[in-house]
Amino acid sequence: MKRSLQQVKALTFDVFGTVVDYRGSIIREMRALAEKKGLDVDPAEFADAWRDGYQPAMQRVRTGQLPWLTIDVLHRMILDDLLKKFRITTLKEADIADLNRVWHRLKPWPDSVRGLKRLKAKFIIAPLSNGNVSLLTNMAKFGGLPWDLILSAELAKHYKPDPESYLTAARLLDLPSEQVMMVAAHKDDLDHAAKTGMQTAYVTRPKEFNPNRKQDLKYEKRFGVNAKDFVDLADQLGV
């Protein structure tokens, strides 16, 4: 183990794509809803379009075009636009509200719970996600994610990758940033965390995106750990 890694006392995890398979989960639920309601929609195309609206919506908050809003609210705004775009007009409000909460019901990757349980034996483990606290809590209940606590951008009122989101997490843990390791499948998330002093672990998730989308899955020396999944991460951290 690298000497600097011995300082780490807490692991904070990106969630969407790193801990849970949001794309596969949304495709499954959208397919079931389409069959039940007789909708003419490609579930994969719908799932990709919903996720593609995520960054632009947060950017509108960052630039002041919108006030601070939770991800639940932003997801609903994107969803309402998508229903118009895909010409889905027969869903009732209860159906739409339940569909929006699919983000509370995302399934973990097959290694996630097993790896997290191992890591929890040695480290404080928590999500550090742009998802709001209630979303992350419900997701943990649904998927059996064994967090010690819930950390969220909502607590800082700043979305990642704003530095305030990472700094607030370290402050709430009462730890210096160098004793906190950010774990993510997204290199930009890790790079921004590192700028605040956090240590970093990159985990590959080759099935996160549409298979036609080109992905950069290369290991990078700038990250403290590079791992194929959470079990591999636990092995490398000596758990």
Spans of all domains in the chain: 3-19+109-236, 22-104
Q: Which residues pair with 98 in a beta bridge?
A: none
Q: Please tell me if the domain spanning 3-19+109-236 has the same topology as the one spanning 22-104.
A: no
140-190 tens-digit pLDDT = 999 999 999 999 999 999 999 999 999 999 999 999 999 999 999 999 999
CA geometry: angle 151, 158, 49, nearest 5 deg: 90
Region 5-28: what's the mean pLDDT?
Answer: 97
Query: Cβ–Cβ contacts within 10 Å for residue 211, how many?
Result: 8
Q: Could you tell me what percent of the chain has a pLDDT over 70?
A: 99
pTM for the model stands at: 0.95
Q: How far apart are CA 75 and CA 98, in angstroms?
A: 12
Homologous superfamily assigned to 22-104: Putative phosphatase; domain 2 (1.10.150.240)
pLDDT at position 213: 83
Q: Output the DSSP codes for 137-194.
A: HHHHHHHT---SS-EEHHHHT--TTSHHHHHHHHHHHT--GGGEEEEES-HHHHHHHH
Half-sphere exposure of 91 (CA within 13 A, CB side): 24
Strands (E), the chain: 10-13, 20-21, 107-108, 124-129, 151-152, 180-184, 199-203, 225-227
Contact 202, 223 (CB under 8 A): yes
Region 22-29: what's the mean pLDDT?
Answer: 97
Homologous superfamily assigned to 3-19+109-236: HAD superfamily/HAD-like (3.40.50.1000)
pLDDT at position 2: 54
**Residue whose tokens read 């209630």:** 134
State the average pLDDT for the chain. 96
59-87 tens-digit pLDDT = 999 999 999 999 999 999 999 999 999 99
